[in-house]
Amino acid sequence: MNILPVATILLMALSTYFTRIIGYLLLRNRQLSPRMQAIMDAAPGCVLITIISPYFVTDKPTDLLALAISLFAASRWSLLPVVVISVVSTALLRCLL
Amino acid sequence: MGASLAPYLNHLPRRKALPALFFMCDENWALAMADATRRRAAGQEPAFSLSFYFGLAVTLWVVWLASTTIGALIGPALGDISRWGFDMAFPAVFFVLLKGMWKGMRCAIPWLVSLLCASLAYHYLPGAAYVPVGAITGIIAIVLMGAKA
């Protein structure tokens, strides 16, 4: 068995786990300043929206329309209906336009 | 994400918190944060429910593995599945997660800054440079807004 892929997987697993625990280990049982608390509250949303930003960079109007529909659906319904609405409307838009 | 969850984990011993963080991903983190906010508002202590979190984590893990396996097996036979619109499920899930964190228009301004900067970075910069760009510009926006308030 080749050692390189196994070592790569193990090291990636370790570094991934490290990113998950480092914040906890640093901030555990610590009183945060109000500014730090504000950053902790709002930063996760920034990261989430950053991850989906490539979807907004498109020259296809159908995809932008589908994103708008998904956003509107998310503002009123829960997870499962939103996913269904999003997938179906995207498929319909791509098929029709 | 681990840092933002840390204040909710203070009541747990490290031997429980560290394994819990092993199973953390975007989805169970966001839902557990939303659940903790709801429980705190309802006066339940501790706000963070470990059983809620692990219920999510185990379910996600099983479904994730199963669906990836199925996808790898039957995927090649399906051809280009983007015409079915499944790729749009990903941003849709994230929209719902973001709604769970919604605390008013003002708190969403840094999100918009992140989105705008990350989109520009994605368009003009190579690779995954858009991820740190979006995260850092969002945090800068939070700090600047905090200084004004």
**Is B94 within 8 Å of A57 when comparing Cβ atoms?**
no
B117 and B75, same structural domain?
Answer: no
| Structural domain harbouring B35 | 1-89
**Is B89 within 8 Å of A46 when comparing Cβ atoms?**
no
Best mutation site among A33, A36, A39, A52 for testing chain B: the one with the most B CBs within 10 Å?
A: A52
**Which of B40, B35, B39 minimizes the C-alpha distance to B55?**
B35
pTM across the whole model:
0.78
Q: What is the pLDDT of residues B10-57, one digit of tens each?
A: 888 888 888 889 989 888 888 888 888 888 888 888 888 888 999 999
B108 and B82, same structural domain?
Answer: no
B31 and B4, same structural domain?
Answer: yes
CA–CA separation, B11 and B37 (whole Å): 16
B76 and B28, same structural domain?
Answer: yes
Cross-chain CB nearest to B101 (options A17, A45, A75): A45
B84 and B126, same structural domain?
Answer: no
B117 and B73, same structural domain?
Answer: no
| pLDDT(B63) > 90 | yes
- How many domains does one find in chain B? 2
Q: Count of CB atoms within 10 A of residue A41's CB?
A: 15
B45 and B1, same structural domain?
Answer: yes
Residue B18 lies in a domain: yes
Residue B19 lies in a domain: yes
Residue B16 lies in a domain: yes
Residue B96 lies in a domain: no
Among B89, B120, B140, residue at a domain's last position: B89
Distance (Å) from the alpha carbon of A12 to chain B's nearest alpha carbon: 13
Q: What is the pLDDT of residue A14?
A: 93
